[in-house]
Structure 1
Amino acid sequence: MSPSLSFHGAAGTVTGSCYRLEAGGRQLLVDCGMFQGDKTLKELNYQPWPFDPRGIDAVLLTHAHIDHSGLVPKLVKAGYRGPVIATEGSADLLRWMLPDSGGIQEMEVERLNRRNQRRGRGIVEPIYTGDDARAALQQIVTRDYETWFEVSPGLRARFWNAGHILGSASVEIEVADGTANGHPLRLLFSGDIGPEHKALQHSPDGPRDLDIVVMESTYGGRPRPKLDPLQRRAVLAGEVNAALDAGGNLVIPAFAVERTQELLADLARLIADGGIPRVPIFVDSPLASHITDVFARHLQRDNGVRASTKQPFAGGSLRFTRTVQESMQIEQVTGGAIIIAASGMCEAGRIRHHLKNNLWRPNATVLLIGYMAPGTLGRLLEDGERAVRIQGDEISVRARIRKLEIYSGHADHDELLDWLRDRGPVRHGLFFTHGDPDAVGALRAAVAQWQEPPAPHMIVPRLDERFSLGGAHPRLLKATAAAKAAPRLDRYARAEALSGHDWHNDYARLMLQVQQQLRAAKTDLERRRLLKKMQRVLGR
């Protein structure tokens, strides 16, 4: 039977990376990520697996970001007993990130269940707990870059530096006798590809002359300015100084992994050089504190991380907060501080508290850094929403909202094309994943214009689609009767998820509009008339 490849995540959307390769009676997963973004996508994390976890032989992780690794504990909890194979850098990060993810889920579910009990609704179980995550860590094994290792009989793999975050990798897999003529089938899963001139990572690398490439397309159609480190720090200094001149705090939502460390390195250098004043810098994330220690250890060992100094995170004004009490004390600071907190897309964590405390202040600044997935609070702020709901409260957006993409961990449109050219020729098929429809469409159109070498056969898979890889080109296989009867996303939900704006977003916006209309009414009589109109529409 020909090898096949199924796309159980990052298909038509940016998160939930999970690809299942079947070959020679064996099954392996490349990535096992959590869906992030709007609630329609998040609900996929709670649904049953579209395959039997006990039938998987191995899991290979491209990197430690939760949208690529975050469902590993759920997989183990469901009966998976094989290895979780990653680079040393990824393994070191996962030892902090997966338990943190489990703890966040426990906390959020506990909060939800308190609301559900008051509303007479059922109790929700977390996808997994911190203990589940710690148990899953026992199955992690590490492998070096650019070194072949056997995954299972007839399948071997090796990691290539992807230049995205510490430990990030593209995964090359060779399937013995995987083609129609009996030759090995060579596949490459890009993972997330890093940009040029990244603050702490080397440029991405990879093999050439492949049969199948599965390629991320996050920034398809979106070129960025090419800045060297000095230019990058100058742009950051301009934003920091403008925010401090406004008199309020500078709040920066930043992922605890890589993005925070990059910012700290550049802020420390700017302070040392006199580019910005020495002001308090709060890193309000216990996870970011631990991850910064991991980076420092790898820097000392020259283990795949680069920096202009061996101590890039040192600075007298830098303060890591670990406890809730320390975090709450930051709320007393109303100006003149830089506050960095996770999550980077403002979807969870302590950043939401700092946004509640600062968004309504006209002298405050929120600096968005990197990609904001559709449907996230970060994207709503980026798109100019003047009021948002955070933890059930309506918050007016009066702060200055600024956007920088110079710290993105992803290659831009031109860099993606350069990376793909260096992997050629791609003989049988190119799959575009990990991107919204516009990004995928732009990248696909650019590749289609290639003349030399000829453009490969290109495919944009949908969620849970399965392809045969044994012929001249990948071929879509028919879905099973069970999959047709109970798809994880129906047609309408898929359209919502791809648009990044589902009915939950519409509901939140409607509630804000109702509250605004009621407040704008001059008399209670006008308010009652408005409510009665709504009741008539609802048939009450």
Structure 2
Amino acid sequence: MAFLGAAGTVTGSKTLVEHDGRRALVDCGLYQGERQWRRLNWQPFPVAPSGIDDVVLTHTHLDHCGYLPALFHRGFTGPAWCSPGSVALVPIVLRDSAHLLEAEAEYARTSGYSKHDPPLPLYTAADAERAITALRSTAYDTRTRLASGGELTLVRAGHVLGSASALLHVGDTTVLFSGDLGRPNHPLLRPRAKPPAARHVVIEATYGDRAHPADDPDHLEMAACIRRTIERGGSVLVPAFAVDRTELVLEALGRLRADDLIPDVPIHLDSPMALKVLAVYRSAAADGELVDGIEATLDALPRWRTAATADESRALNRPKTPCIIVSASGMANGGRVVHHLASMLPDPRHTVLLTGYQAVGTRGRALVDGAREVKIAGSYVPVRAEIARDEGFSVHADADELLAWLHELPHEPESVFVNHGEPSSAAALAERVRRELGAVVVVPRYGERVRVD
């Protein structure tokens, strides 16, 4: 087994499992955040993509599926296995990613700030379509034979729609990949399943060194933030992932509006991708994939205005009246939210409300850490707007919840590999696992290979 991503960081998830000359790649994520990691997206893949037989995707976030078109561009031709929910969502994510990469390359060409001539995208829309045609659906709790010779079983992870933990039966051993684990209770999703038995476990550590703050299920702090911003004549910009996070933010805004806890100001949903994702969530509700009674919750979402065109989106950069703008991406690193930030950050009337984990090296993390200026499209922009957080939207298990998942294993594993976390988070979780379980516990290095036979 080789750790080719998410080792020393929370992005770029890729773990290669090899047996009898056959190879399966569990997750195929894009590196985001710090430049030292993003550069790896452009480096030759550590093994020949043409020699990989299968890809397994645990869920649809870019740091787990976003490199798949590049893998095809470089020679991979096999199937990509995932849950039915991910089969519905991954095409939306990959098409959007390819569009942004192509647009970024074109902007770099026309503005002249690239070192390359001509600047090229990491992958194109055509590469994304090739990856989409390779998606193969496998239901939860069902064994699927892989081209690499092993067997795959997905179990519900409760992180986003379609998210899964992946159990691989390879030769005489079993390896369980947690994927990104959700919290015990999600407002929209069915809860995560108990993990199946495995000899070896690879567990994520995004929140491995901390507990989530005390629950604020009514999002009263968010309401107070919105009220004070509107009172001073400003608008609230909410960077939000299109998958799951936007749905949760809209649900919260609907409840706050119904309870008269926030003013009746326009709500703009500036994310064509989020609208497509919302349609998938509505379909999943009809198929029984979400919690019981969720249709009423979805029907109660607040009425929003959409920015159908780029010109309509740019018009929101300087709102004429106070409003709330929900726009992707969640870490403020790409998408339409970036030009909103460029216009709104210098104005102290406005607020940028961050709603989830902000990876090191992202623009969102810089804002959380108190940056006085941030770089956007090659120029520095002063940060005078209020920067606020509402961590009540997190759908990542915290340290206690990660340990609880391990304790639910039917049998104690022989070894636990802690990845997908910043170094301090992974080290802290590994130490807790050592204290509470009798397993060998390892925080793997990038590129490290281990035997698990």
For Structure 1 versus Structure 2, the TM-score category normalised by the shorter chain is over 0.9
The superposition leaves residues 69-99 of structure 1 with CA deviations (integer Å, 9 ceiling, x where unpaired) of 0111111122212111111110111121101
CA distance in 2, matches of 1:359, 1:120: 28
CA distance 1:388–1:376, change in 2 (3 Å): same
Which of 164-173 and 269-278 deviates more? 269-278
* Conservation of the 8 A alpha-carbon contact between 1:250 and 1:338: yes
* Conservation of the 8 A alpha-carbon contact between 1:197 and 1:227: no
Aligned to 2:281: 295
How far is the alpha carbon of 1:296 from its aligned partner? 1.4
CA distance in 1, matches of 2:267, 2:208: 34
CA distance in 2, matches of 1:139, 1:206: 29
* Alignment of structure 1 residues 159-178 onto 2, 5 Å: 159-176=154-171, 178=172
Given the two structures, how large is their TM-score scaled by the length of structure 2? 0.95
CA distance 1:305–1:294, change in 2 (3 Å): farther
* Conservation of the 8 A alpha-carbon contact between 1:359 and 1:395: yes
* Alignment of structure 1 residues 223-262 onto 2, 5 Å: 223-227=211-215, 231-262=217-248
Aligned to 1:196: 184
Could you say what secondary structure the match of 1:312 adopts? helix
Q: 1:151 aligns with which of 126, 146, 153?
A: 146
CA distance in 2, matches of 1:235, 1:198: 19
The superposition leaves residues 287-321 of structure 1 with CA deviations (integer Å, 9 ceiling, x where unpaired) of 11111111111112222456644452655641122
CA distance in 2, matches of 1:437, 1:212: 21
Please list every run of 5 or more consecutive structure 2 residues that lacks an aligned counterpart in the other structure. Answer: none
CA distance 1:131–1:353, change in 2 (3 Å): same
Residue 138 (str. 1) matches residue 133 (str. 2): yes
Aligned to 2:312: 326
CA distance in 1, matches of 2:21, 2:115: 48
* Conservation of the 8 A alpha-carbon contact between 1:278 and 1:317: no
Aligned to 2:83: 87
CA distance in 1, matches of 2:226, 2:19: 52
CA distance in 1, matches of 2:3, 2:293: 36
Aligned to 1:456: 439
Could you say what secondary structure the match of 2:446 adopts? coil
Aligned to 2:422: 436
Aligned to 1:217: 205
CA distance 1:121–1:59, change in 2 (3 Å): closer
How far is the alpha carbon of 1:21 from its aligned partner? 0.3
Aligned to 2:74: 78
Percent identity over the alignment is 39
CA distance in 1, matches of 2:297, 2:211: 32
Aligned to 1:412: 398
Could you say what secondary structure the match of 1:283 adopts? strand
* Conservation of the 8 A alpha-carbon contact between 1:282 and 1:337: yes
Which of 140-149 and 106-115 deviates more? 106-115
How far is the alpha carbon of 1:247 from its aligned partner? 2.4
* Conservation of the 8 A alpha-carbon contact between 1:335 and 1:364: no
Residue type of the alignment partner of 1:162: A
Please list every run of 5 or more consecutive structure 1 residues that lacks an aligned counterpart in the other structure. Answer: 179-184, 471-540
Residue type of the alignment partner of 1:279: V
Residue type of the alignment partner of 1:227: D
Residue 398 (str. 1) matches residue 381 (str. 2): no
Which of 286-295 and 306-315 deviates more? 306-315
The superposition leaves residues 42-83 of structure 1 with CA deviations (integer Å, 9 ceiling, x where unpaired) of 111111111011111111100011110011111112221211
Residue type of the alignment partner of 2:307: T
Residue 388 (str. 1) matches residue 374 (str. 2): yes
The superposition leaves residues 98-122 of structure 1 with CA deviations (integer Å, 9 ceiling, x where unpaired) of 0111111111111223344x78753
Residue 62 (str. 1) matches residue 58 (str. 2): yes
CA distance in 2, matches of 1:22, 1:427: 20
Aligned to 1:181: none
Could you say what secondary structure the match of 1:223 adopts? coil
* Alignment of structure 1 residues 389-538 onto 2, 5 Å: 389-423=375-409, 425-450=411-436, 454-470=437-453
Aligned residues: 453
TM-align CA RMSD: 1.9
Could you say what secondary structure the match of 1:294 adopts? helix
Larger Rg: 1
Aligned to 2:123: 128
CA distance 1:435–1:313, change in 2 (3 Å): farther
* Conservation of the 8 A alpha-carbon contact between 1:248 and 1:334: no
Could you say what secondary structure the match of 1:276 adopts? coil
Residue type of the alignment partner of 2:305: R
Aligned to 1:103: 99
Which of 330-339 and 90-99 deviates more? 330-339
CA distance 1:270–1:306, change in 2 (3 Å): farther
The superposition leaves residues 466-517 of structure 1 with CA deviations (integer Å, 9 ceiling, x where unpaired) of 11112xxxxxxxxxxxxxxxxxxxxxxxxxxxxxxxxxxxxxxxxxxxxxxx
Could you say what secondary structure the match of 1:467 adopts? coil
CA distance in 2, matches of 1:272, 1:119: 48
Aligned to 2:257: 271
Could you say what secondary structure the match of 1:406 adopts? helix
How far is the alpha carbon of 1:135 from its aligned partner? 2.0
Residue type of the alignment partner of 2:4: H
Given the two structures, how large is their TM-score scaled by the length of structure 1? 0.80
Could you say what secondary structure the match of 2:450 adopts? strand
